[in-house]
Structure 1
């Protein structure tokens, strides 16, 4: 029935998520889910929300959750925008800020692949800026004078899939170089060792920071994300959201997300456990002959010095372990491996010893 599609649908290349396999005794290290469960307080709050009140619409302004997020970052509620996962927030960002008279969006050539998907979907002109040979972002490429100012700039920090992170001075310099462009920092993994650019918002009106509760808050199944920015930028997102879906978050999601944000002790303990496991995993992988990029995320990006990445990934899958392999230029010999519990990482490394010896 493709003849009934809208004109632009056939030309889309949808984003492909990590494999969700049905394998006995599966060890899933391919989608960067947190190995530790959500805050028990969040689970309790969600259970308490399952009442007769579900017949009523949720608060379309989500004031309680916006205020909870604002308190955590010492902002005001009008500096917080909520969406159905950070991917929806990012979709609204592309729609609200990157369609400006044909000016291009600037983004790294190796980064979260959904950005290119959104560029195609919203027909956003864009310029891919190559990362350095060590996969770090070359700041001069983003601060140098250009004949045409970008409509906006977007990058993940820490970057995905590399795990490399920028310091706040660098982010501030990029934003200062382009005061007429929205600079969007996607911080899905920031809580695992990097610094949040939320600290720059007071002095940087063109900066926006996007977070998700899927990673450090262990709520990938709940679908909650948010953006932090000046009230003026947030108003732009609200105009898009309320022209699309006034109720992106249900009552259960609002309750669970607020409790998770407010349970700082659980958040800190589980993040610390992931960071410790990551450092041990890096040492183990290096001992097995992998070159591992410096990571400040809940995953590592690794290349074996003498074995093909695609073959390693396939053999691991045969043993019930999923890792992410990207068949893309520059990174086809790398594997992105989610950090699991110490026991899960040990299983991975024991299996790799067998796989690499054959």
Structure 2
């Protein structure tokens, strides 16, 4: 096999990539035709898309190709989870330089497939083009299996706010890597590959979640979307948030505030949801705040005076 993507060619690359992507039971027709065919048993399809650009969302000297694949898939799968749905399939658009090693593209594909397999989903197709940088665009499909979607607009005064997953880890890893270090390994790996709490979205829907959101741009920023859509005030209690020891260690070494990473750090892809106060939540869901009449998001009853999360165009 040729070493570079340019030598292999578009269709040779597609063949090399798709040969390593097994298809699951939701796929009626996989890669090979002009389109794939995916089952939609209840007549509805949940769809989301996300884009990763080299040197903006990942760096090849920081992350292996498989890591980038895992991350690209996870970010989309978590959005499907946030609707209370089950992911079924992914479609991938890939832009790559002609001199990119074929092995890198194949490892990227393997990462995508491995992450999708964690929820029984499949990579069913896509496209490849020549690009000066690596660009990965993923569209994810999912099924609600007859249930209603959980929207951002359903939170009501009197609800509690609960979190499933971890926060601040990816930001801690980014801070470490940006200073030229590779340890602590736990936070570096968290930056490279999100740990999505798969299954928690449908679980929350079954428990009666009134609103839900994937935390990809920072807890406060994403809760701001819920507060705006629902027309409520959301207050986060700092004392209820977990600041893990690895975050404390890194923050201490860097002279930073680890709580700020938990409140505003992105790319962990946890789920945050609102529930009626009388719902008994499973152990992996932790109450972190409350919903009341009003607008916006506060921390401990006060406005947060720092940026609340990531904005792709801030400072541009």
Task: Indicate the structure with greater strand content.
Answer: 2
Q: TM-score w.r.t. structure 1 length?
A: 0.23
